[in-house]
Amino acid sequence: MSVGSCLGMPVVQLAHGAGAVEMWRLINELIVSKVPRDLRAVKGGFGIDVLDDGAVIMVGGQYVVLTIDSYTVNPIFFPGGDIGHLAACGTINDLVVMGARPVAFMDTVIAEEGLPTEVLEKVVNSMIKVLVSEGVALIGGDFKVMPKGSLDRVVITGTGVGLSKRPVVDTGIRPGDKLIVISPIAEHGAAILAAQLGMDSDVKGVVSDSRPLTRSLLPVIEVFREGIHAARDPTRGGVAAVLNEWSRASGLTAFIERSRVPIREGVKAFLDAIGVDPLSLASEGSAVLAVDPGIAEVVVDELRRLGEGYAEVIGEFREPPTPFLKGRVVAITEVGGKVLVEPKSVNLPRIC
């Protein structure tokens, strides 16, 4: 049976890259299921056996954390950043949420023939500026040019290397764990959506949150590592995708209070007006944590002390109250109702 017939779709669709269930199904059926279990990770580490934000290899008594991601955003310059800034921050944050201190970065830049060199220079300068500010070494890379019309301007792939004494791998979630969001959600997705709709100059307070989390989140993970059972940056698919993935993997039910999910008023008003759920939109400078209930408030206080003023406990994991709710996410609405939160493939191509 072919992958297309397994997926019920003869061609790749935009939904397959949106970070929701279609993407994870494609990855599992196209790749993971074909790799023998003993080759899904290096012995003593983690890889596609857990499908976290990166892979972990044990080298000389310490853990080396590796991550790779391709960045393809339209427009390449957007309110709050650009594709170079996004590539550096996104790669760094994938290491940070795994509890690794970023030490090195490599890039692949693929440019379309005819791209103004001024544009290319601005993008690369932006990427390098982030790396320098974070003390991350740029140790190599690659550059290619594609014929005009075969690529939409520029694509950047970032590879990150980090070191950790004990990485955070999202396999330790337990009943009672509290869910923390460290900063306002959906800001990157809303900014890109506004730009693609030509509304970025009209919508106030909608700016991408693209930024590195090295100074605020990493110190908290290093101090409270024993009680932090999972951490993820909610990029494609947003908070909804992260929580659904964790719930499915753990077999638990995540309950969240929508009124406690941090979101800026301008972003909320814009998304309400166009009918898009902020839980399904990407953030590029936020993170979701699952932590031991005994330290949740202390973790929030420390995050706030380090500048994350919107950090908030938004819910918790529980044993499924019914078989139907096993592996699902339930939101308690502002008026007290309960609704399922399912990852939605927002039709938003080239978002990150």
Task: For residue 248, give the CATH number of its domain.
Answer: 3.90.650.10
What is 171-183 written as a DSSP string?
T---TTPEEEE-S
In a domain, 249, yes or no: yes
What pLDDT, on the 0 to 100 scale, is given for residue 25? 79
pLDDT at residue 264 above 60?
yes
Q: How confident is the model at residue 152 (pLDDT cuts 50, 70, 90)?
A: confident
**Max mean pLDDT range (12-26, 45-59, 174-188):** 174-188
Residue 274: strand, helix, or coil? helix
Amino acid 304: pLDDT: 98
99 falls within a domain: no
The pLDDT assigned to 17 comes to: 64
- Please tell me the distance from the alpha carbon of residue 33 to that of residue 78, in angstroms, as a whole number: 38
d(CA 137, CA 160): 10
Q: Each residue of 88-133: pLDDT tens digit?
A: 999 999 999 999 999 999 999 999 999 999 999 999 999 999 999 9
pLDDT of 349 reads 60
Whose structure tokens read 């590796």?
A: 66
Mean pLDDT of 208-214: 98
Average pLDDT over residues 271-276: 92
Cα separations in angstroms, 4 against 19, 30, 35, 343: 19, 9, 18, 22
Question: Could you give the CA distance from residue 87 to residue 98 in angstroms, rounded to a whole number?
Answer: 17
Q: Which residue has the higher pLDDT, 165 or 27?
A: 165
Q: How confident is the model at residue 1 (pLDDT cuts 50, 70, 90)?
A: very low
Mean pLDDT over 251-260 rounds to 97
How many distinct structural domains can be found in the chain?
Answer: 1
Residue 258 reports pLDDT greater than 80: yes
- Torsion angle of the four alpha carbons 42, 45, 49, 50, in this order, in degrees rounded to the nearest 10: -160
For residue 231, the model assigns a pLDDT of 98
The pLDDT, as a whole number, for residue 51 is: 77
Query: pLDDT confidence of 192, banded at 50, 70, 90?
Result: very high
- Torsion sign (Cα): 193, 280, 333, 211: negative
265-274 vs 187-196: helix crossing angle, rounded to 10: 50
What is the extent of the structural domain holding 215? 178-340
Please compute the mean of the pLDDT values over residues 166-194 and round it to a whole number. Answer: 96
Position 200 scores a pLDDT of: 80
Mean pLDDT score of the chain:
91
Residue 300 lies in a domain: yes
**Residue 323 placed within a domain:** yes
Instruction: Specify if 13 maps to a domain.
Output: no
- Residue 53 confidence (pLDDT) above 90: no
Q: Which of 100, 71, 218, 76 is nearest to 160 (CA)?
A: 100
- Does residue 128 lie within any of the structural domains? no
Q: What is the mean pLDDT of residues 212-227?
A: 97
Q: Give me the amino acid identity at 309.
A: G
The pLDDT tens digits of the residues spanning 309-332 come to: 999 999 999 999 999 999 999 999
For residue 85, tell me if it sits in a domain.
no
Contact between 57 and 185 (Cβ < 8 Å): no
| pLDDT of 101 | 98
Q: Which residue, 74, 145, 136, is CA-closest to 106?
A: 136
Q: Which residue has the higher pLDDT, 316 or 150?
A: 316
For residues 281-293, average pLDDT: 97
Q: Do the domain assignments include residue 283?
A: yes
Q: How confident is the model at residue 15 (pLDDT cuts 50, 70, 90)?
A: low
Which pLDDT does position 36 carry in this prediction? Answer: 84
Is residue 6's pLDDT more than 70?
A: no
